[in-house]
Amino acid sequence: MKILLPTSTAGSLPKPSWLAQPEKLWSPWKLQGEELIDGKHDALCLSLQEQQQANINIVSDGEQTRQHFVTTFIEHLSGVDFENRKTVKIRDRYEASVPTVVSAVSRPKPVFVEDAKFLRKQTKQPIKWALPGPMTMIDTLFDDYYKSREKLAWEFAKILNQEAKALEAVGVDIIQFDEPAFNVFFDDVNDWGIACLERAIEGLKCETAVHICYGYGIKANTDWKKTLGSEWLQYEAVFPKLKNSNIDIISLECHNSHVPIELLELVRGKKVMVGAIDVANNMIETPEEVANTLREALKFVDADKLYPCTNCGMAPLPREIARGKLNALSAGAEIVRNELLQTS
């Protein structure tokens, strides 16, 4: 029997301090060579155990094997020169030094497939694996070859499709594409962003998700949020087209955000991973706060399609806080699950 309101996380969880410096994005590894490979796998097991102890239903690797959700994937591709760096503005928000696309991009070998196989061996629970979305990938690069955001995005969509099919083949149940760029470049999203995503999932039989968030709780993002006013209407621009897409699940930021929850009506019929945990502060939600967010979402999402989740990744948070938030998510989901069972 399928559990009602299955919980999961949007993505990353904190890394142990012996693997990488905690509470930091792009944190450099503390190990090298064989030790690093073993260390990443040990951290993956720990992260899995933390999710299991918190009763998370759909588990992940906690992104223990990657340094960053976009760049680690790009590092494995050919056609991108990591020495040749340019400063660009990411998501029209903050400047970063990024690698340059210098020739045709391709995927000479699988990127995360061995890690996914390793995770699959550790658990019989459903597993979710995250990949960057094509639009977010191009936004993290300087393109000196295709000279067209759209062209480069289509190339990445083909590469992502190869990786996604390989992940499906080793037993990944849900493949999630992270597309924070969907909250910024609305015209491109509607013109070709969603079409590229559909190219990336072409031929997959496993479930697919797109995670659209307002970013990690870093200063550039929290400053940006202050400029968005009291009602965040970004989702409104992309929901109609997403509703008609082949993507199965939409993962959204709903807790403590100023997204009017009634916007979810625009994607009714889709499964929704409802972010009910704020990742931008260290306050651990009470189960009742989580339950309230889920109850609000239930007005617009059918109960069998609601997946309680975190707003975004928790990599930059202290481990204790992240653990507390995982427990709060489970406890909040349990409250609402019981309410639903009593009324049905």
Angle in degrees, CA 280, 176, 124, rounded to 5 = 105
Distance between CA atoms of residues 62 and 129, nearest Å = 9
Q: Measured from the CB atom, is 31 or 218 closer to Zn ion?
A: 218
Q: Residues 6 or more apart from 246 whose CB is under 8 A from it?
A: 198, 201, 208
CB of 81 to Zn ion, least distance (A): 27
CB of 72 to Zn ion, least distance (A): 15
Side chain identity, residue 127: I
Q: Measured from the CB atom, is 179 or 285 closer to Zn ion?
A: 179
CB of 336 to Zn ion, least distance (A): 23
CB of 68 to Zn ion, least distance (A): 13
Contacts of Zn ion in 128-157 (CB under 5 A): none
CB of 216 to Zn ion, least distance (A): 7
Q: Measured from the CB atom, is 143 or 278 closer to Zn ion?
A: 278
Q: In this structure, are residues 313 and 218 in contact, taking their beta carbons and an 8 Å threshold?
A: no
Among the listed ranges 59-67, 107-115, 202-210, 212-220, the one in contact with Zn ion (CB under 5 A) is: 212-220
Contacts of Zn ion in 29-48 (CB under 5 A): none
Q: Measured from the CB atom, is 79 or 134 closer to Zn ion?
A: 134
Distance between CA atoms of residues 174 and 326, nearest Å = 19
Contacts of Zn ion in 80-99 (CB under 5 A): none
Total number of residues that touch Zn ion (CB under 5 A): 2
Among the listed ranges 142-150, 208-216, 267-275, 326-334, the one in contact with Zn ion (CB under 5 A) is: 208-216
Distance between CA atoms of residues 309 and 213, nearest Å = 12
Q: Measured from the CB atom, is 47 or 100 closer to Zn ion?
A: 47
Q: In this structure, are residues 310 and 287 in contact, taking their beta carbons and an 8 Å threshold?
A: no
3-state secondary structure at position 209? strand
> Taking CB under 5 A as the rule, does residue 195 contact Zn ion?
no
Determine which residue in the list 152, 213, 280, 315 makes contact with Zn ion, applying CB under 5 A: 213
Side chain identity, residue 36: L
Helical segments of the chain, H only: 33-53, 71-75, 113-122, 134-138, 149-169, 186-188, 194-200, 219-226, 234-243, 287-298, 319-343
Contacts of Zn ion in 273-312 (CB under 5 A): 312
Interacting residues toward Zn ion by CB under 5 A? 213, 312
